[in-house]
Amino acid sequence: MEKLQLRQESGGSRLYLMNKPIHAGDCLEVLISEDWFPARCECYREQGNLNWYLVVFKPESENVIEDCINSVWCRFS
């Protein structure tokens, strides 16, 4: 379990979890209020920059966490 880290690479920025690169569409689990929820990592390009976010799948709804870098605990599914 770690927080997502953003690293600069030659082609732009990329998310890493536990020193492994994360790609758009990768599935993770996110810790929210002491419970683990499935999530999918996504990104979009804006003004030449990649912006990463998580879509969290809770039983009652989907939540989007836009500020996910160094802010939420994650693990691989």
The predicted-structure confidence for 58-76, as pLDDT tens digits, reads as follows 999 999 999 899 999 999 9
Encode burial over 27-47: b for 16+ CB neighbours within 10 A, e otherwise.
ebbbeeeeeebebbbebeeee
In tens, the pLDDT along 35-52 reads: 999 999 999 988 878 889
Q: Output the pLDDT for position 47.
A: 87
Global model pTM greater than 0.75: yes
| Gyration radius of the chain's alpha carbons | 12
Task: Domains for the chain: give ranges and CATH numbers.
Answer: 2-76 (2.40.10)
State the burial class of residue 5 (Cβ atoms within 10 Å of its Cβ: 0-12, 13-18, 19+): middle
Q: Output the pLDDT for position 10.
A: 82
Q: Mean of the pLDDT values across residues 13-22?
A: 93
